[in-house]
């Protein structure tokens, strides 16, 4: 310091006088004012936004060097917040299985930051600026080019930067007395006060508002985003699947790098024991199995690999191996010494090939044969089994090839099937189901209160649904609703069905000679080719002798029950069948209800010979049956005979009560007899029990055919799907009504690949579908839940917004000094 001062003083002494004159060009002068006030606005421009991002990137570099200032560090913090949140969105997207879900995670991220920046602008800045002219988020750029907010710090007053015009506007809006001396000062004071209050309100309100606002935004976005992404996803999976070439050559090309990798691995461990190789492969195979949902092959596969890992040393082969390794003499020597039997025993153990070799080598070196220590014995043994080892390696290579090909093909198939019928939100079937049930539910016109009652299963909720159905069938909308539903069903069949009409539906791809057939068939063939016949059987089933004396698989044959392929088909068919049956069933229930409402159902009963009163009861029973009958909770509910004859009991007054489950009304014996005649035809005679026993199954069927006839009206409306409807009804008749008699073994085996009674139950379940009562209740639940949530948080949001806006109205009032000044003017004083 002293040095510098000294030199300055010296300089001053020596300096020419002219150097002290002011030279604007070279000497110290005030900095040029680069700062400027930005216009009052709600949103910045995109260009500015991009520029800011660029600045932030540079800032991080400066921060790493330790050069940043407070402003830049603040910006880095904001950037870090966004990056961290984006990282959360990325992680959650990676975790969410469905594409729509992934998109929604990013939508959530956007919604949150959107809400964070929009809330103060919309709820505070905009209304307050409108009312008072004070803009608490007004920005300026300082001399260093840093963008800052004008009124963030109440003690660092920059209100002077506001133009006269800004002040005048604000003053007029806030009603500052025009005659006040030094009016601008009072206006500035008010602006300062207002902005401080607004800042406080921002801090106080945004905690409440932002999460709710973001959630509501997400909820709204979900309704648009989800269906769009789902349909895109399904289309993409389908396209990818159809473009996949299921030839071995194509697969070979695609997996070549993996195969190369594997070949290298085999080469590297060519000298090692087979057990190591197979062990590692077993590791890999589990991964592929998991990825391709074929885990059930794991156990048989490990079994096969274990056999391989024994490396060809067994009780049967040990003799030959010893001969090759040590020669005839040595073997006879061993036999003499009794070691041959021991070697045989060792080769028969469950140990791996390498261990066996070691054991036998130890045994032989211990037997005192000349020139055979443990090491040489082991080497000779290894050499002797070399032919087997190389065979194993060849087998493994082929085995691995089969698996990689299968894995690659199956993955494409799985993606396609999953997008169509996956048991998850967002699959095609789930979306269609939701749409169908919502259309049905909305057509019944329940209000919020009724929806709540139905959702909560309150007393009388069944009546509410019945009333809703009656409302629908009696209204003029009926045909329109049926048409809408049948249109949806048509789309459903188009996308999922197989058959003459829908050649390209999802299930069609699982049929004979199509893609899935090729995938599984090819896999089985290759497995068989590499000697894993047991495994191959687990994949597609039956072996038939081929032309070249070797067995090959009959790829085009229907896969056998219990195989991997068959189970795959069953799963897919079951999913489609269940959804389809429920939808058709809803149509039929509507139709029967319509007929009952119009009276045509009763007339049909009367035509069949029932008295008027009985016809009414019958119609009622049938109506109830279509609505309620279910197999879900109790098989007993879905009786083939609505009047379970054995359950007829005599009441105290001599009347008979029929079928507690279905008929709520007492009948006289004569009434009952007539009903039986209507139901079961001419055969009904004799005692009640006898009739029940005598009735053959086909009588039940004819009864149902008679009573479940579809009306011409509905038939016309569902013309497009008539084929499907007929199909459904046939299935319903055959598999539900006759389940006690015929479906048990033969048909169940056909459809499920197993005659197991449980499988039969699943089949019946799928054919029955969900009854309409349940469908409506489920829909009501989901609607009630979303509505409840929406109402709750819309209410909260409205409350927060109202409070915030109301608080804004109290801001910017005049203070005491202004009042005093105003009073002064009023009194004619010049304050």
Do residues 324 and 384 lie in contact, with contact meaning Cβ atoms separated by under 8 Å? yes
Contact set for other proteins, span 61-100 (CB under 8 A): 63-70, 73, 76-77, 80-81, 83-85, 87-88, 90-92, 94-95
CB of 28 to other proteins, least distance (A): 7
User: For residues 198 and 469, which CB has a smaller minimum distance to other proteins in the complex?
Assistant: 198
Do residues 515 and 413 lie in contact, with contact meaning Cβ atoms separated by under 8 Å? yes
For residue 639, give the H/E element and its range.
none
CB of 709 to other proteins, least distance (A): 37
CB-based contacts of 441, cutoff 8 Å, min separation 6? 776, 779, 780, 783
CB of 57 to other proteins, least distance (A): 12
Indicate which single residue of 187, 455, 663, 691 sits in contact with other proteins (rule: CB under 8 A): 455
CB of 560 to other proteins, least distance (A): 30
Strand locations in 536-676, DSSP E?
543-545, 551-553, 649-650, 656-657, 666-667
Contact set for other proteins, span 670-709 (CB under 8 A): none
Q: Which residue, 519, 560, 584, is CA-closest to 736? A: 584
Rule CB under 8 A: say whether 265 interacts with other proteins. yes
Indicate which single residue of 2, 26, 31, 447 sits in contact with other proteins (rule: CB under 8 A): 31
- Cα dihedral 227/231/233/234 (nearest 10): 130
Rule CB under 8 A: say whether 805 interacts with other proteins. no
207: exposed, middle or buried (Cβ count in 10 Å: 0-12, 13-18, 19+)? exposed
Indicate which single residue of 98, 132, 206, 768 sits in contact with other proteins (rule: CB under 8 A): 206
Rule CB under 8 A: say whether 287 interacts with other proteins. yes
Distance (Å, whole) CA 285 – CA 784: 46
Rule CB under 8 A: say whether 280 interacts with other proteins. yes
Rule CB under 8 A: say whether 4 interacts with other proteins. yes
Rule CB under 8 A: say whether 155 interacts with other proteins. yes
Contact set for other proteins, span 766-795 (CB under 8 A): 781-782, 784-785, 788-789, 792-793
CB of 353 to other proteins, least distance (A): 18
Rule CB under 8 A: say whether 424 interacts with other proteins. no
User: For residues 287 and 316, which CB has a smaller minimum distance to other proteins in the complex?
Assistant: 287
User: For residues 255 and 485, which CB has a smaller minimum distance to other proteins in the complex?
Assistant: 255
Do residues 721 and 482 lie in contact, with contact meaning Cβ atoms separated by under 8 Å? no
Tokens of 724: 């499907």
User: For residues 34 and 341, which CB has a smaller minimum distance to other proteins in the complex?
Assistant: 34
Count of residues that interact with other proteins, criterion CB under 8 A: 77
Rule CB under 8 A: say whether 106 interacts with other proteins. no
CB of 518 to other proteins, least distance (A): 23
CB of 104 to other proteins, least distance (A): 13
Contact set for other proteins, span 353-372 (CB under 8 A): none
User: For residues 208 and 571, which CB has a smaller minimum distance to other proteins in the complex?
Assistant: 208
CB of 585 to other proteins, least distance (A): 22
Binding segment for other proteins (CB under 8 A), chosen from 242-250, 259-267, 358-366, 512-520, is 259-267
Contact set for other proteins, span 615-644 (CB under 8 A): none
User: For residues 332 and 456, which CB has a smaller minimum distance to other proteins in the complex?
Assistant: 456
User: For residues 43 and 789, which CB has a smaller minimum distance to other proteins in the complex?
Assistant: 789
User: For residues 154 and 686, which CB has a smaller minimum distance to other proteins in the complex?
Assistant: 154
Indicate which single residue of 125, 132, 159, 199 sits in contact with other proteins (rule: CB under 8 A): 199
User: For residues 208 and 597, which CB has a smaller minimum distance to other proteins in the complex?
Assistant: 208
Task: State the residue for tokens 């080769």.
Answer: 347
Distance (Å, whole) CA 187 – CA 464: 64
Secondary structure in 3-state letters for 665-677: CEECHHHHHHHHH
Do residues 675 and 667 lie in contact, with contact meaning Cβ atoms separated by under 8 Å? yes
CB-based contacts of 574, cutoff 8 Å, min separation 6? 762, 763, 766
Do residues 129 and 210 lie in contact, with contact meaning Cβ atoms separated by under 8 Å? no
CB of 133 to other proteins, least distance (A): 16
Contact set for other proteins, span 456-485 (CB under 8 A): 456-457
Binding segment for other proteins (CB under 8 A), chosen from 190-198, 458-466, 596-604, 732-740, is 190-198
User: For residues 255 and 587, which CB has a smaller minimum distance to other proteins in the complex?
Assistant: 255
User: For residues 690 and 785, which CB has a smaller minimum distance to other proteins in the complex?
Assistant: 785
Binding segment for other proteins (CB under 8 A), chosen from 203-211, 320-328, 373-381, 766-774, is 203-211
Distance (Å, whole) CA 383 – CA 829: 122
For residue 814, give the H/E element and its range.
none
Neighbours of 305 (CB within 10 A): 21
CB of 25 to other proteins, least distance (A): 13
User: For residues 742 and 782, which CB has a smaller minimum distance to other proteins in the complex?
Assistant: 782
Question: How far from 414 is each of 163, 407, 421, 560, CA to CA, in Å?
Answer: 67, 10, 10, 21
Do residues 325 and 444 lie in contact, with contact meaning Cβ atoms separated by under 8 Å? no
b/e string for 237-273 if b means 16 or more Cβ within 10 A? bbeebeebebebeebeebbeeebeebeebbeeeeeeb
Indicate which single residue of 6, 144, 253, 512 sits in contact with other proteins (rule: CB under 8 A): 144
Rule CB under 8 A: say whether 809 interacts with other proteins. no
Contact set for other proteins, span 219-258 (CB under 8 A): 257-258
Distance (Å, whole) CA 412 – CA 518: 13
- Altogether, the residues listed in the chain come to a count of 831
Radius of gyration of the chain (CA): 42
Q: In what order do the strands lie in the sheet with 666-667?
A: 649-650, 656-657, 666-667
Indicate which single residue of 46, 207, 338, 636 sits in contact with other proteins (rule: CB under 8 A): 207
Q: What angle do CA 433, 438, 442 make, to 5 degrees?
A: 160
User: For residues 284 and 756, which CB has a smaller minimum distance to other proteins in the complex?
Assistant: 284
Cα 701–chain centre separation: 41
User: For residues 211 and 499, which CB has a smaller minimum distance to other proteins in the complex?
Assistant: 211
Indicate which single residue of 103, 134, 201, 524 sits in contact with other proteins (rule: CB under 8 A): 201
Q: Which residue, 571, 568, 573, 576, is CA-closest to 432? A: 576
Indicate which single residue of 284, 324, 518, 706 sits in contact with other proteins (rule: CB under 8 A): 284
Rule CB under 8 A: say whether 1 interacts with other proteins. yes
CB of 785 to other proteins, least distance (A): 5
User: For residues 77 and 332, which CB has a smaller minimum distance to other proteins in the complex?
Assistant: 77
Rule CB under 8 A: say whether 20 interacts with other proteins. no
CB of 813 to other proteins, least distance (A): 8
Rule CB under 8 A: say whether 402 interacts with other proteins. no
User: For residues 211 and 300, which CB has a smaller minimum distance to other proteins in the complex?
Assistant: 211
User: For residues 540 and 771, which CB has a smaller minimum distance to other proteins in the complex?
Assistant: 771
Rule CB under 8 A: say whether 197 interacts with other proteins. yes
Question: How far from 524 is each of 283, 566, 570, 731, CA to CA, in Å?
Answer: 21, 13, 19, 33
End-to-end CA distance of the chain: 53
Binding segment for other proteins (CB under 8 A), chosen from 452-460, 575-583, 586-594, 715-723, is 452-460
Do residues 694 and 650 lie in contact, with contact meaning Cβ atoms separated by under 8 Å? no
- Cα dihedral 737/751/489/425 (nearest 10): 120
Do residues 627 and 777 lie in contact, with contact meaning Cβ atoms separated by under 8 Å? no
User: For residues 187 and 718, which CB has a smaller minimum distance to other proteins in the complex?
Assistant: 187
Neighbours of 797 (CB within 10 A): 16
Strand locations in 425-556, DSSP E?
543-545, 551-553
Question: How far from 132 is each of 20, 23, 811, CA to CA, in Å?
Answer: 52, 48, 9
């Amino acid at each position: 310091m002293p040095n510098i001062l000294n030199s300055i003083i010296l300089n001053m002494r020596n300096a020419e006088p002219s150097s002290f004159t002011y030279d604007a060009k070279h000497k110290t002068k005030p900095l040029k004012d680069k700062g400027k006030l930005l216009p009052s606005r709600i949103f910045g421009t995109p260009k500015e936004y991009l520029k800011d991002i660029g600045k932030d990137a540079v800032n991080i570099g400066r921060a790493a060097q330790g050069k940043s200032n407070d402003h830049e560090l603040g910006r880095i913090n904001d950037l870090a917040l966004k990056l961290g949140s984006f990282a959360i969105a990325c992680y959650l997207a990676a975790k969410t299985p469905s594409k729509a879900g992934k998109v929604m995670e990013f939508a959530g991220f956007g919604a949150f930051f959107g809400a964070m920046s929009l809330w103060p602008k919309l709820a505070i800045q905009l209304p307050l600026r409108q009312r008072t002219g004070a803009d608490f988020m007004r920005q300026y750029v300082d001399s260093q080019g840093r963008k800052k907010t004008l009124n963030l710090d109440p003690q660092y007053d920059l209100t002077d930067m506001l133009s006269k015009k800004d002040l005048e506007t604000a003053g007029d809006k806030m009603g500052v007395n025009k005659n006040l001396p030094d009016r601008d000062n009072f206006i500035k004071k008010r602006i300062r006060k207002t902005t401080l209050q607004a800042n406080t309100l921002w801090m106080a309100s945004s905690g409440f508002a932002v999460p709710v606002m973001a959630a509501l935004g997400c909820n709204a976005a979900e309704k648009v985003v989800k269906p769009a992404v789902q349909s895109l996803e399904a289309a993409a999976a389908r396209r990818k699947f159809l473009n996949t070439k299921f030839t071995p050559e194509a697969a070979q090309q695609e997996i070549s790098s993996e195969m190369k990798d594997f070949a290298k691995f085999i080469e590297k461990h060519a000298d090692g024991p087979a057990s190591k190789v197979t062990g590692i492969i077993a590791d890999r195979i589990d991964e592929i199995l998991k990825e391709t949902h074929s885990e059930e092959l794991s156990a048989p596969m490990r079994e096969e690999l274990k056999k391989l890992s024994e490396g060809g040393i067994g009780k049967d082969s040990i003799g030959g191996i010893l001969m090759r390794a040590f020669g005839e003499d040595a073997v006879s020597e061993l036999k003499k010494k009794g070691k041959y039997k021991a070697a045989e025993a060792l080769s028969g153990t469950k140990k791996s090939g390498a261990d066996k070799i070691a054991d036998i080598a130890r045994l032989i070196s211990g037997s005192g044969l000349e020139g055979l220590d443990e090491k040489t014995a082991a080497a000779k043994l290894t050499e002797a089994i070399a032919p087997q080892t190389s065979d194993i390696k060849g087998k493994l290579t082929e085995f691995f090839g089969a698996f990689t090909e299968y894995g690659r093909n199956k993955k494409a198939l799985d993606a396609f099937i999953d997008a169509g019928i996956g048991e998850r939100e967002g699959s095609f079937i789930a979306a269609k189901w939701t749409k169908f049930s919502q259309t049905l539910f909305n057509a019944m016109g329940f209000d919020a209160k009724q929806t709540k009652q139905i959702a909560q299963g309150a007393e009388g909720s069944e009546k509410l649904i019945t009333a809703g159905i009656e409302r629908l069938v009696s209204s003029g909308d009926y045909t329109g609703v049926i048409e809408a539903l049948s249109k949806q069903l048509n789309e459903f069949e188009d996308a999922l069905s197989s058959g003459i009409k829908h050649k390209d539906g999802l299930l069609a791809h699982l049929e004979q000679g199509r893609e899935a057939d090729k995938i599984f068939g090819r896999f089985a063939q290759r497995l068989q080719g590499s000697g894993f016949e047991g495994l191959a059987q687990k994949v597609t089933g039956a072996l038939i002798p081929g032309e070249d004396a070797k067995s090959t698989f009959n790829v085009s044959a229907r896969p056998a029950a219990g195989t991997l392929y068959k189970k795959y088909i069953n799963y897919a068919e079951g999913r489609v069948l269940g959804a389809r049956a429920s939808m058709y069933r809803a149509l039929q229930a509507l139709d029967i209800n319509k007929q009952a409402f119009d009276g045509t159902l009763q007339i049909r009963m009367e035509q069949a010979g029932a008295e008027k009163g009985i016809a009414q009861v019958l119609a009622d029973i049938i109506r109830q049956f279509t609505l309620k009958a279910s197999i879900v909770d109790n098989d007993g509910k879905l009786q083939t005979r609505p009047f379970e004859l054995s359950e007829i009991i005599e009441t105290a007054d001599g009347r008979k009560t029929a079928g507690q489950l279905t008929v709520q009304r007492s009948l006289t014996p004569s009434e009952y007899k007539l009903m039986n005649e209507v139901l079961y035809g001419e055969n009904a005679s004799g005692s009640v029990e006898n009739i029940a026993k005598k009735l053959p199954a086909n009588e039940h069927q004819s009864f149902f055919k008679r009573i479940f006839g579809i009306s011409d009206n509905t038939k016309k409306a569902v013309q497009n799907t008539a084929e499907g409807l007929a199909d459904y009804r046939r299935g319903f008749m055959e598999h539900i009504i006759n389940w006690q008699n015929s479906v048990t073994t033969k048909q169940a085996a056909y459809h499920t690949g197993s005659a197991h009674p449980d499988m039969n139950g699943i089949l019946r379940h799928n054919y029955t579908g969900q009854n309409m009562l349940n469908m409506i209740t489920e829909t009501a639940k989901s609607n009630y839940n979303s509505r409840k949530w929406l109402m709750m948080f819309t209410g909260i949001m409205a409350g927060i917004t109202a409070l915030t806006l109301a608080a804004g109205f109290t801001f910017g009032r005049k203070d005491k000094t202004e009042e005093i000044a105003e009073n002064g003017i009023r009194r004619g004083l010049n304050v």
